[in-house]
Structure 1
């Protein structure tokens, strides 16, 4: 090589430095690419990350039992006839979706004395055997006697009820008449748990259940206020059942069970203690009979 083309020591050092820098940059790029690949592979193997969850659990909404829909007695007078200025409303025995029955604190005992309560509305126009009744509510429980009276009157005179099935006519003995000495055939008594035990003895109601005893349909206020779990929050339907069941005993009806799994329970089944494969039902009529009765009553 001619002397004019020989690299100088400075030039050799510059070339080596450039080669070192290029090598370092290349190694750094390869390392970054490898790290990115490993991260992506790990994420794919782990699957998508779950969404964050809250520690607060929302209470489930209550739903009414299948086949429990019944037209609203609130649009009907206690005589079972439509109010003149209103049309039948949606079913009353199925509460609106998303509602629940808030537990009510029911005292174990009341005052031990009763208020005679007037059931509002017109007299029954049904034909049949006369059955007189009177409503009384124990004092000291915090019960709304007016609301109880409206429900009792509506259920007794409803077209789906015992008046149509047993061909009877419920007639109220007013508080004034009772005070004057007129005795009804059936007392409908809403009582505290402890008073229920006393009025139902010798039957054991365990401060929990209701009964018919000695001419009294005794409705345990604890059940009236909170229903039972198997009714899934359907408080209106349960109260309809409770009245019809205990008054049914007063009319001479004994306990029954449903004919097969999934069938509507007869109103004389002890539904408060469990449905045992049946579905809750509140009226003496079957669901199909009740539907026809309501259509006939609203014509």
Structure 2
């Protein structure tokens, strides 16, 4: 059953706060929650060292404090490295060399998408940190496909999405080096440990390491794992909290912290199934 949520004036739904342990808000006290796990890296992707000269997007710096009235506690994503009892299949693919950090400035994917979904429109932007060997156009296409999928958040009947490259946005999806993710998430009290993703202040921060390597369970399904990253963190943005496995042999909810083990659930990266049923579990 979907957690009960309430609409904000901007169309966002607010849910229960995440249980992430947070280093403390600027000018405030510490937050409660869980610390990100140590990494067990899968294999996929390639070295990230240079920007894509073919992209013609707009340059942005990190959105620090974009309206402090709207800033809220962030969530450490459930899409980082996991310790799992399942042994991943052996692979001969080399582990990519991923820059520890980057300049903290971003290139926005050019163009935009059509509206998907019948609910309240949420406009979003896709940014890639400078110095990363990723095509902003390709990243944007992948994010568009995830958010447009009929098994995605548009199935809730409340959410509609449209990618833009300029003008006002409701949230931004950003792929960045581990150091930049740590810095931006840390500004809102989260310790991402160079390994995991987060959702803070209308920014879905995607760790480059996770984008390229996934986790052991998804080591051979990296693009599927990218869908899990986007759906999980956007789910937090929409107000959904973490849930547990509903039972052995059932699909793992997208809001389940699959990084901590599957607990008998089967891998799944979508919030809804093909028949429009919300896939959830016991609230944590």
Question: Normalised by the shorter chain, which TM-score bucket?
Answer: 0.5 to 0.7
Q: 1:184 corresponds to which residue?
A: 169
* Equivalent-residue separation in structure 2 for 1:119 and 1:278 (angstroms): 39
With normalisation by structure 2, the TM-score equals: 0.61
1:116 to 79, 104, 108: 108
Aligned to 1:153: 144
Name which of 121, 126, 129 aligns with 2:117: 126
> Structure 2 unaligned runs (5+)?
1-42, 44-88, 278-284
> 1:170 and 1:125, CA in 2 relative to 1: closer, same or farther beyond 3 A?
closer
In the superposition, relative to structure 1, how do residues 146 and 107 fare at CA in structure 2: closer, same or farther (>3 Å)? same
**d(CA) in 2 for partners of 1:200 and 1:236?**
24
**What is the aligned residue count?**
188
Q: CA deviation at 1:183?
A: 2.8
Would you say 1:235 and 2:222 are equivalent positions? yes
Contact 2:116–2:161 at 8 Å: present in 1 too?
A: no
Q: Is the 8 A contact 1:109 1:141 kept in 2?
A: no
Q: 2:108 touches 2:136 (CA, 8 Å); kept in 1?
A: no
Equivalent residue, structure 2, for 1:57? none
For residue 178 of structure 2, the aligned residue among 193, 197, 201 is: 193
Higher strand share: 2
Question: Over alpha carbons, which structure has the higher Rg?
Answer: 1
Q: Is the partner of 1:108 in helix, strand or coil? A: coil
Q: Which has the higher contact order (CA 8 A, sep 6+)?
A: 2
Q: CA deviation at 1:155?
A: 0.6
SS at match of 1:131: strand
SS at 1:284's partner residue?
coil
| Deviation (angstroms), 1:105 | 1.8
Shift of 1:197: 0.7
**TM-score w.r.t. length of structure 1:** 0.58
1:251 aligns with 2:238: yes
Aligned CA-pair RMSD = 2.4
1:172 counterpart residue number:
163
Offset at 1:150? 1.0
Could you tell me which runs of 5 or more consecutive residues in structure 1 were left unpaired when the two chains were aligned: 1-61, 63-96, 291-299
| Offset of residue 198 of structure 1 | 1.1
In the superposition, relative to structure 1, how do residues 232 and 246 fare at CA in structure 2: closer, same or farther (>3 Å)?
same
Does the C-alpha gap of structure 1 residues 246 and 141 become closer, same or farther in structure 2, counting only changes over 3 Å?
same
- State the shift of 1:258 in Å: 1.5
Equivalent in the alignment of 2:35: none
Does the 8 Å contact 1:119/1:135 carry over to 2? no
**3-state secondary structure, aligned to 1:190:** strand
